[in-house]
Structure 1
Amino acid sequence: MVATIADREKELLDRVPTELLIGGQWREATGGATFDVEDPATGRTLLTIADASPEDGKAALDAAVAAQESWGRTAPRERGEILRRAFDAVTARADEFALLMSLEMGKPVAEAKGEVTYGAEFLRWFSEEAVRAFGRYSSSPEGKLRVLTMKKPVGPCLLITPWNFPLAMATRKIAPAIAAGCTMVLKPAALTPLTSQLFAQVLMDAGLPEGVLNVVSTTSAGKVTGPLIKDDRLRKISFTGSTPVGRRLLADASETVLRTSMELGGNAPFLVFEDADIDAAVEGAMAAKMRNMGEACTAANRFLVHRDVAEQFSAAFAEKMKALKLGRGTEETTNVGPLIDAKSRDKVHELVTAAVQDGAKPLVGGAPAEGEGYFYQPTVLADVPAGNRILSEEIFGPVAPITVFDDENEAVRLANATEYGLAAYVFTKDINRGLRIGERLEVGLLGLNAGVISNAAAPFGGVKQSGMGREGGTEGLSEYLSTQYVGIADPWADQA
């Protein structure tokens, strides 16, 4: 008998750990505190899990500190093999992880499967990078010393992940930390902790030693992580989330000069020039805007279109958006799932309402969807006036505001007119123009005639107030390594 979706959901949820992972053991929170994890498509509770206290956070750091020395001496090949086994396990269980993400976060299962593929690639990539933490040996310029540099694990790390990509954001931080030989305390987002809980068990099953990864899901993030950041045994914090929270964490980290990686907010411009392939630009716009229902820091947030093709692009884009079907992510026909919660949906509608009041023209959508869950209609707004809030704030929803430009200089000026600098997208048939514009844009990521460019082998990160540091690529491993220099006396000195 074939299991129904409801049966599959129950069977899967029954396999998700609901306690805290500390020192290799799943255990209840101090005092027995718990919290509910909600399905944003229905508002119903999926699971009730342990809610970590500050005491639990300290116990997790204690476990990470205790495991650091032996884990740091583990052979790089062994660390790489653990990651490779985890890659194989996640890949084999792709349907489970996709369904779980759809349940707790809302994204369509088909899209969630794409995240499983993307997230698993960090495990495979860093399984290969684990053996490539190279140092060097050379002579000092005057010849009196030999210069030996060694790469060493930074030490215990605090990893804080967001709710929008529950698997990929975890693997993007955990995989390089494992490869480098660092122990970890993971604090997943309270809105979507279940994927991290299941992934932690997969890593344990793959042979990760006790205490290397500790997971403290909690609704009291500041109370749990604050003391850890001030603890001088912690060596690094890696955070993905909003810029305001990132600023506070950076201020706290300054007290112990804690090494930091920050992947913060974005306000990505999507530039369409008059010579662009409009069909390709529309497809790129759909990918760049609607990935994760627009709830992505790399999502196209402002569409800057040359005046000569603005009407054509806007009409074609609106037609594509109109054809999308809203629904629970577990339904095969769904293209667009719910937003994560009521607060997020209401903020999106507030931005849309303010833009329309300021003169923007809705070509499609423009309102919350009726019924249960936190759905918002896919929306395209034309003629958005300069200076409107929707052009300066991160939307984090399925809304595309369009404004026009007349030449390259104006396009660059508008694109750079933001405190953020994470991603940008440029569509043009002129490769020289594309490279020229790219060199002028103040961003860490650029999609040239491409709407999705994230890749485990490429460095991900921003400039300005979009953060610091890089995740993925060869650069991602370096974030978890420190360099030690050893000066060796000239071995030829006694031959003089």
Structure 2
Amino acid sequence: MKGLLIDGQLVEAPRTTVSYNPTTGEVLGEAPDASVEQAKAAVAAARRAFDTTDWSTNVEFRVRCLRQFYDGLVKHREELRELTIAEVGHPRQMTYGAALDVPIDIVKYYTDLLEGYSFTEELPEVESYGIKNRRWVEKEAAGVVSAIIPYNYPTQIAIAKVAPALAAGCTVILKGAPQTPLITLALGEIIANETDIPAGVVNVITSPSVEVAEVLTSDPDVDMITFTGSTPVGRRIMEVASKTVKKVFLELGGKSALIAVDDADADFLALIATMTICSHAGQGCAVTSRLLVPAARKDEFVAKVKDAIGNVKIGDPALEETYVGPLISADQREKVDAMVQRAVAAGATLVAGGEKIDGPGYFYAPTVLADVDPESEIAQDEVFGPVLAIIAYDGDDEAVAIANNSIFGLSGSVFGADDDRAIAIARRIRTGTVSVNGGNWFAPDSPFGGYKQSGIGREMGVAGLEEFLERKTLAVPVK
């Protein structure tokens, strides 16, 4: 069993929790279930490390430790790959991208960025009461950070939080998702065994306990919370954090729209829509789960999507050819199925899928629903499963209005024959990222985050580093 990382030591917990393989439904392993006291100890260790060591000011040392972390991830890459497939259910081919390999590169990106980043910004001199003043801004680490991650992309999201936080000079308590504790604990082992990161700078805990999570969000020694997960939980974190006015970063839910412009290539669009909704079985906050098609071409697009989704390979994620793996749990599969059945009962047309797949594991058939009311539950609420809702529209203005008719604003896509027209539509969509004609925005240097109830702040890129910095303005008379 892997250990919690608290104050530089890998330790056991008084209880354990089980991690299941979603492909088979069988127990994969046991993980320590941290106690409230251990959560408090992790916070205290991070506080001490921030307040009493030179971690926050020694840039050269931080660069060296981040390079060691990167090297450790590369060294253990294949072990992490197999664990990711087994515990998260990511198809193997996805581990060569966002599930593993790109996250490893995020560490390198922030290490390289840190080497050339200026933590001081000079302002113009000003004269006050006949005296000239030199002014400048210093960027300092925000302090102790609680980083709380979900199950769907645990390595990517953990590293997108931990790497820039460490680069900024913060200390961190990383809490893994209850469904995928082993992969997060493996990151803690690499930090403990492969780096010179001082005791207390990074602490890694796992627990399904709400009380443990509340420690990380309410303890006055925590200066900042970075959370990725559902919007309801994000609202709760804001509420708890408000009592001590903590800095909060939130990356929450999404109900992103893919707009097919009236001159879009139906074959290409159907392929992209299918590949996106089926990616990690739809368990992605930025997945475009609403497909908006021109009413005059609705039947054509529906038929093309039905054909494309019927060709997707579903099965064992360990196989290279598999594109759709399992959902994370039996409960999640029941939730997805219940939403699909309610959508059909409410008037949506079931085009494909709409059923649980028999056998071991938590597989659900990729599903297409047409004739979807844009105000309905299936069009408004996050499903987190391979379910595509097709909505017809008349004219570009209505397409934009439907796309923006959501409490969320995380991502989106636009497809059309004319790049300029598609870009013009994309600029009207109120989301943090938009892909135009298949353009890929995802990379370590690309800021990611949402509008509205999809969150606050940006992760990755220079913006992702600066989320973990505070600005202090100083002035001194010029002599």
Question: TM-score scaled by structure 2?
Answer: 0.95
Contact in 2 for aligned 1:284/1:451 (Cα 8 Å): no
Matched with 2:9 is: 25
Question: What is the SS of the residue equivalent to 2:225?
Answer: strand
| Residue 46 (structure 1) shift | 1.0
1:59 aligned onto 2:41:
yes
Q: How does 1:418-437 map to 2 (within 5 A)?
A: 418-437=406-425
Contact in 2 for aligned 1:284/1:452 (Cα 8 Å): no
| Residue 168 (structure 1) shift | 0.2
1:218 aligned onto 2:207:
yes
1:87 aligned onto 2:70:
yes
Root-mean-square deviation (Å): 1.6
| Residue 452 (structure 1) shift | 4.6
Question: Structure 2 stretches of 5 or more lacking a match?
Answer: none
Contact in 1 for aligned 2:124/2:135 (Cα 8 Å): yes
Q: What amino acid does structure 1 have at the position aligned with 2:43?
A: L
Q: What amino acid does structure 2 have at the position aligned with 1:110?
A: Q
Contact in 2 for aligned 1:180/1:477 (Cα 8 Å): yes
Q: What amino acid does structure 1 have at the position aligned with 2:7?
A: G
Q: How does 1:133-172 map to 2 (within 5 A)?
A: 133-142=118-127, 144-172=132-160
Q: How does 1:118-137 map to 2 (within 5 A)?
A: 118-131=102-115, 132-137=117-122
Question: What is the SS of the residue equivalent to 2:249?
Answer: strand
Distance in 2 separating the partners of 1:313 and 1:301: 15
| Residue 73 (structure 1) shift | 4.2
Distance in 2 separating the partners of 1:431 and 1:207: 49
| Residue 117 (structure 1) shift | 1.5
Q: What amino acid does structure 2 have at the position aligned with 1:44?
A: E
| Residue 225 (structure 1) shift | 2.6
Distance in 2 separating the partners of 1:451 and 1:338: 27
| Residue 356 (structure 1) shift | 1.6
Contact in 2 for aligned 1:20/1:215 (Cα 8 Å): yes
1:117 aligned onto 2:105:
no
1:368 aligned onto 2:353:
no
1:399 aligned onto 2:379:
no
| Residue 74 (structure 1) shift | 4.8
Bigger drift between 416-425 and 443-452 goes to 443-452
Distance in 2 separating the partners of 1:228 and 1:384: 41
Matched with 1:11 is: none
Q: What amino acid does structure 2 have at the position aligned with 1:60?
A: A
Question: What is the SS of the residue equivalent to 1:125?
Answer: helix
Contact in 2 for aligned 1:90/1:116 (Cα 8 Å): no
Bigger drift between 452-461 and 86-95 goes to 86-95
Distance in 2 separating the partners of 1:107 and 1:456: 20
Distance in 2 separating the partners of 1:358 and 1:253: 39
| Residue 233 (structure 1) shift | 1.7
Distance in 1 separating the partners of 2:456 and 2:96: 29
Bigger drift between 60-69 and 319-328 goes to 319-328
2:238 to 232, 235, 250: 250
C-alpha distance after superposition, 1:99-153 (max 9, x if no partner): 1111111121221232212211210111112231432123343262110211111
Distance in 2 separating the partners of 1:36 and 1:232: 31
Distance in 1 separating the partners of 2:92 and 2:59: 35
Distance in 1 separating the partners of 2:319 and 2:400: 41
1:441 aligned onto 2:429:
yes
Distance in 1 separating the partners of 2:88 and 2:418: 39
Matched with 1:104 is: 87
| Residue 334 (structure 1) shift | 2.3
Question: TM-score scaled by structure 1?
Answer: 0.92
Contact in 1 for aligned 2:314/2:322 (Cα 8 Å): yes
Q: Structure 1 residues 84 and 450, CA, compared in 2 at 3 Å: closer, same or farther?
A: farther
Identity of aligned residues (%): 36
Q: What amino acid does structure 1 have at the position aligned with 2:425?
A: I
Q: What amino acid does structure 2 have at the position aligned with 1:142?
A: E
C-alpha distance after superposition, 1:287-327 (max 9, x if no partner): 32122110000011111011233222222222221112322
Matched with 1:7 is: none
Q: What amino acid does structure 1 have at the position aligned with 2:445?
A: A
Question: Structure 1 stretches of 5 or more lacking a match?
Answer: 1-16, 492-496
Distance in 2 separating the partners of 1:215 and 1:386: 42
Distance in 2 separating the partners of 1:301 and 1:451: 17
| Residue 92 (structure 1) shift | 4.0
Question: What is the SS of the residue equivalent to 1:159?
Answer: strand
Distance in 1 separating the partners of 2:389 and 2:96: 28
Contact in 2 for aligned 1:87/1:123 (Cα 8 Å): yes
